[in-house]
Amino acid sequence: MLKDFLHDRLPFIVLIYLSTLITILVAVLLISFSGGEQSIQTYVYMLLLATLFLCAALFIDYARHRSFLKQLYTINPHSTSLDEIRKLTHRQAPTQTTKRMLDVIRTVDVHTHDQIIQYETDRKQHETFINQWVHHMKTPMSVISLLSQEGKHQTSDDDVQTFFNDIQDENDRFRHGLELMLQLARLDHFSLDFHAEPVELAQLLREVINEEKRQFIRRNLYPQIVEDTNQTMVYSDSKWLRTVIKQLMINAINYSHHGQGNRITCTIRQERESVSLFIQDSGIGIPTHDLPRVFEPFFTGDNGRKKTESTGMGLYLARTIANQLGHSLTIDSELERGTTVCLTFTSKTL
């Protein structure tokens, strides 16, 4: 603190000594021209006198700033709360310049605080609207699904059956989009909606597959679960984990080759300190140059041009939730050979 104080006043100190030396030089020349007797003690006395007044001035200036500087240097901007920093701006300023600077900081702080409050208000209103809209859309979506199933049961015409199947497919896409939107809206409140518990991984997989069984049947795909040991348990939040697995399963369904009887294999592998879940398809794959960016929000890559319904948010949501749960999510793919996604539960999350 004192070192910085003296450093800031270094030009002032240099100027004082420079002016004193010039004064002494002028005195030497005057005495020399007048033929008078010169005394080195006089010049030393003049220098000491200048130093004494300089020290007195610096001491008075430092005493005025000491209390303010002491509080300023106790603040760590990386770990101190904003309230502690704001207290500094309400202290009595040692100089008019400092007072002006603190007034500017207070004005900026109030303006920024008001903007943050307005932003939070707008964000909450938007989130409330999204949640209400999603829940309102679930009703017509369910009605469409029921009407489609009833229509299929009341006719045997193949064209009409195909028509109702197409409606159900589009309704499923609508449902997946709503679920994705709702989960993204809930990410901000993840910690408030988190409950860790033992989860049987294979059972959770069967439930997700059963929910999407119509997608498997319509696309002529066959899910398969391969488990090293029976009843592999992991420690996680079952609801959020279901969201991750469901999103990975939907991606595997969407990007598989449909109508060819291909398999989507879910392999549960128990290792010494971890459990890994591999979801593997033999679909269109992901180009190598797109792999580093597939977890970025809104990134669709080359496949997004082939699948126009791609949002680029599915894998982003899956990895974000996995990271929040303490799991890791990685992906490996080869173009036209398929994609393998690995969800790893380490010893920290078992």
> What does each of the 350 residues of the chain score in pLDDT, given as a tens digit?
667 666 666 777 777 777 777 777 767 666 666 666 667 777 777 778 778 877 888 788 777 777 777 766 676 666 656 666 676 666 676 777 777 777 887 888 888 888 889 988 888 888 788 878 887 888 888 888 888 888 888 887 878 888 888 888 888 888 888 888 888 888 877 877 788 899 999 999 999 999 998 889 888 999 999 988 888 899 999 999 999 999 999 999 989 988 888 999 999 998 888 899 999 999 999 999 999 999 999 888 888 777 766 788 889 999 999 999 999 999 999 988 899 999 999 865 55
- Token readout for 237 is 């939040």
| In the block, residue with structure tokens 């610096």 | 58
| CA pair distance 11, 33, nearest whole angstrom | 33
| CA pair distance 164, 231, nearest whole angstrom | 39
Sheet strands (E) in the chain: 197-200, 222-227, 233-236, 263-270, 274-281, 328-334, 338-346
What pLDDT, on a 0 to 100 scale, did the predictor assign at position 147? 86
- What is the CATH code of the structural domain delimited by 197-346? 3.30.565.10
| CA pair distance 247, 319, nearest whole angstrom | 10
- Token readout for 332 is 């490996």
- Token readout for 53 is 């007044």
Strand partners of residue 335: none
| CA pair distance 213, 24, nearest whole angstrom | 99
pTM over 0.85: no
What pLDDT, on a 0 to 100 scale, did the predictor assign at position 54? 79
DSSP three-state, residue 341: strand
C-beta atoms surrounding 60 within 10 Å: 10
C-beta atoms surrounding 314 within 10 Å: 19
Pairing of strands 263-270, 328-334: unpaired
What pLDDT, on a 0 to 100 scale, did the predictor assign at position 333? 93
Helix (H) or strand (E) holding 242: helix 238-254
DSSP three-state, residue 224: strand
Name the segment(s) of the chain with CATH classification 3.30.565.10. 197-346
DSSP three-state, residue 328: strand
| CA pair distance 168, 148, nearest whole angstrom | 7
| CA pair distance 170, 174, nearest whole angstrom | 6
